[in-house]
Every structure is written in structure tokens, then in C-alpha cells.
Amino acid sequence: MVEGSTLLRCRTACGTGGSNPLTSAIFKSPSKYGITMAKRCFWAKLNNSLMVEYHDKEWGVPAHNDKYLFEKLLLDSAQAGLSWECILNKRENYRKAYSNFNYKKVAKYTEKDIQRLLNDPGIVRNKLKIRSSIENAKFFIEIQKEFSSFDQYLWSFVNHRTIQNKIKEHRLLPAFSEESTRLSKDLKKRGFKFVGPTIVYAFMQAVGLVNDHTTDCFRYKEIKRLSS
């Protein structure tokens, strides 16, 4: 499942965030303002500037910074059962709630922190997800100790090279892959939770292990060049 491919399931949980009125108006009717919009992947909703900016600047860019990888892993795990738009709208709330995604700090969270997070309306207040995010931070650090970095561990599942898919239509996008299944299985063996093959595949798409921009998207070739 590509991030953003599911509909917003619960407006109470997900909020509406993201766009100012003028930006939204331009995105909704670009021709009215004399603007020709670049061709994008179908999920980059033009009525949400956060989605467009995320698509245009982040999604699919090969990432190697462990702090950023932890951020994306935490957010993608929180996405389970929801849409990426929901989580993206809450991203800055998560940043504040989770110590700017400092995994060393998150790994030391106590019951007091768990209660703080459960009382935070700015994030998805799911007790299992919150507890697993803290445990996952601990396992993240263990992987760093074993492989020198989470980056080295993660990219080994694709032989340290972005998989270049050539998908013409969004309906042909896979929900998971052989690589995401192997990675998911290994993460679960190490104790991680909310890391099923579909969530892991979304994570892999996001951090550039696989280029799943459709071939007609303006970012497809750009990501391919970044990955070479």
C-alpha cells in the first residue's frame, strides 16, 4: 500500500490540517490562476499542500540518516489502519510529543510519558501503538549496535541500491514485496511491532529503498537520478 492510497477513514482521528485558503484554492483550480500543474502520483492530493510538498520533496528520496529513518518508521507504524494523510497532518504534533524523534530519548520513556502521550490530542492515541513506539526505539538502538547504524541494516535488504520499479498506473502498485516481507519478518523477530509487510513496504517507498513514483510522475526520473 503506497502511503496516502487509503481514504481518510476517521475525520475525528485524523483532523483536516495542512493548507491555507489561497494555497488550497490554487491546488484545486490551478488553471484558474494560470498555473499548469506537474503530473504527480495520484495520492498527492492537491487540496492538501502538506501532501503535495511531501510528495515533491521527500517521498522516495534515498534516506540514510538514522534519526530520519526512525522518524519515518515511527510515523509509518502509527499509520496502521489509517491513511498517510492522517499521520502527515499530525506530523509536527508527533515531533513535539516524541522529543523531536530522538530515539535515544524515546527509548527511555516511562509510564509517565506513556500517559502524557495518551492524553495528547495531537497524535493518534492508541495505547498499543504508543507502547510499541517506545519498545521499537529500544530495538532500533540494538540494531545500531549490531550493524553500526540502522541505515546499514535497512539498506542491506535491497543490496544497498534502490529498486527501480516501472509502474505506469497507480492501480498496479504492489501492497508489499518479497523484500518488505523479509524485512518485516526480521524486524518482528527482533521484537518490533506494527511492522507488517504492507506497513514496511510503505516505509521502504518513503525512504527510497524502492522508487514507486509512477513513470508519468515528474519525480520518477528525478528519484532515479538520485538513486544512481
The 10s digit of each residue's pLDDT in 173-188 is 999 999 999 999 999 9
Domain boundaries, the chain: 11-57, 66-227
| Residue 118 near residue 160 (C-beta atoms within 8 A) | no
66 closest CA partner among 93, 101, 94: 101
Q: ∠ CA(131), CA(50), CA(172), 5° rounding? A: 85
DSSP class of residue 208? Answer: T
Q: In a 3-state reduction of DSSP, which class is residue 167? A: coil
Taking only Cα atoms into account, the Rg of the chain, rounded to an integer number of angstroms, comes to 18
Average pLDDT, the chain: 89
- The pLDDT confidence band at residue 6, using thresholds 50, 70 and 90, is very low
pLDDT, position 213: 97
Compute the distance between CA of residue 108 and CA of residue 106 in angstroms, rounded to an integer: 5
Query: CATH top-level class for 66-227?
Result: mainly alpha
Name the band, by pLDDT with cuts 50, 70 and 90, for residue 21.
low
Rounded CA-CA distance 109/106 in Å is: 5
Residue 145 CA to residue 120 CA, distance in Å, equals 32
pLDDT of residue 13: 45
Per-residue pLDDT at 9 = 33
